[in-house]
Structure 1
């Protein structure tokens, strides 16, 4: 005996409301009026015999039963889409336009992209490391991986890590400065700061109890890789994340002072909420979260 399928349009409406976090956004994406969207959700609730959303003041909030239903159904819908994709000769390349900071790309993303290619051979990624990545999300970029303190609340954002701020120098310079902060020695030094981490130096300085200390100069870099190389060459003290230092594995570099300073910045994956419904964005997003990059 064949099983009765749920009303697929109603199921699509349900999934979009959950993924976009907004009934209004889901209705706009589907080209429906709010009342038409609500009717589709009602049809699905009638089919499954569960209350999936509570409705109040034109807002829809997922119930516990609704969350359980989504968690049970969403992976199978994704598997169905993947199965259709694998059996279709008409589907061409899926392309994702992704903004990435170069150091994240080199240290964390590129070493794992082979795994993604094996899972989704049709998915190809155009990498953009240019300026103003955040401003271009939803325009020339489908998504981006950025260093942020607080993501724009209008964007879908996933935090990828938590970091500490390190002061990093060449081994020779580290030996010269010593293991205890000395404002006289430090005031002679140039500090190197990444453009994407403008508040990192002040955060580190304050946490070290050096609020009145001023270095000889602060030089700014737009490349994390070049910043690390400058530090290795003895050009100054780099203020960087612990993860950057550890992944670099550069024996020419040493950490100054054994003090953990929480960073105000993290790497975030961001995209417009409605762009999660684009298959390339959804595939990359889900892989990124599962891979734990």
Structure 2
């Protein structure tokens, strides 16, 4: 049998690659930073190639490192799952799911009890960090993404179609300066999610107000914080109808009854071969039956 590098060296390499920091990876593996560095260096000596570009307080994968990570990270994850299943005494199926916090809190988590009752052996590791689609196969098995469309080389199933709403504080409809006309947007700050950068433009075009400019545009990477900012009167949020309806926040109102189809949808995304994995297939089938657009 071909000789393999020590498992500890492989584990150290994967953790540093995923976290980008020797210190963070050492904390994760309960090692000292020098001990972890020695493990990574041992792997580099074994394959006789550097795997990282070393920068101040950061470790960035080079080309060889990226290729190695893509091949061994899924295998290491599968090995970890197999050991967990054996030591727990029961079958454990683990899905590493990338998801946006707002979709998770509004639409997925209220239904997870049904999933647990149907598949008690299936457990989810939730990852709300960004760029989930790009990390498929590298720590993530599947992603629920918000996007215009998905790379055709990936498997994707659309979960919804939506409308763009203009969402603001209820107080905006009160008093002598109540906001009732789109032209008044010139006096307000627009709140836009970084994953939905074209919502304001799509709404403005559909409303026939192509020259309209808000006072400013503030960008968020958190849907819940956008809704809270709107409720606090810090601006008006350009978000989906489902975000407004699922929030059910009495402090918020929809402004301007103008129908605008959103260019964005939520999608279930994974690599095609991942559907052959039992955890991915179980979750996919349950999700589509429960939350899919054709349910």
TM-score higher than 0.5: yes
Secondary structure of 1:260's counterpart equals coil
Equivalent residue runs for 1:86-165 within 5 Å: 92-165=91-164
1:214 is displaced (CA, Å) by 1.2
The match for 1:264 is 263
- The alpha-carbon distance between structure 1 residues 97 and 268, as it changes in their structure 2 partners (threshold 3 A), is same
Q: Which structure has the larger Rg over C-alpha atoms?
A: 1
Q: Deviations over 1:124-150 (max 9, x none)?
A: 000000021111012210000010101
The match for 1:210 is 209
The match for 1:289 is 288
Secondary structure of 2:109's counterpart equals helix
The match for 1:224 is 223
The whole-number CA distance in structure 1 between the counterparts of 2:148 and 2:253 is 26
1:177 is displaced (CA, Å) by 4.2
The match for 2:8 is none
Secondary structure of 1:213's counterpart equals coil
Secondary structure of 2:250's counterpart equals coil
The whole-number CA distance in structure 1 between the counterparts of 2:101 and 2:173 is 26
Contact persistence 1:177–1:186 (CA under 8 A): no
Secondary structure of 1:187's counterpart equals helix
Aligned residues: 203
Contact persistence 1:100–1:146 (CA under 8 A): yes
The whole-number CA distance in structure 2 between the counterparts of 1:108 and 1:101 is 11
Contact persistence 1:171–1:252 (CA under 8 A): yes
The match for 1:274 is 273
1:292 is displaced (CA, Å) by 2.4
The whole-number CA distance in structure 1 between the counterparts of 2:112 and 2:125 is 12
The match for 1:60 is none
Secondary structure of 1:261's counterpart equals coil
The match for 1:242 is 241
- The alpha-carbon distance between structure 1 residues 284 and 136, as it changes in their structure 2 partners (threshold 3 A), is same
The whole-number CA distance in structure 2 between the counterparts of 1:139 and 1:174 is 48
The whole-number CA distance in structure 1 between the counterparts of 2:252 and 2:154 is 37
The whole-number CA distance in structure 2 between the counterparts of 1:150 and 1:249 is 28
Contact persistence 1:194–1:222 (CA under 8 A): yes
- The alpha-carbon distance between structure 1 residues 165 and 213, as it changes in their structure 2 partners (threshold 3 A), is same
Q: Deviations over 1:198-253 (max 9, x none)?
A: 01110011111111111111000000000000000000010000000000000100
Runs (5+) with no aligned partner, structure 1: 1-88
1:91 is displaced (CA, Å) by 5.2
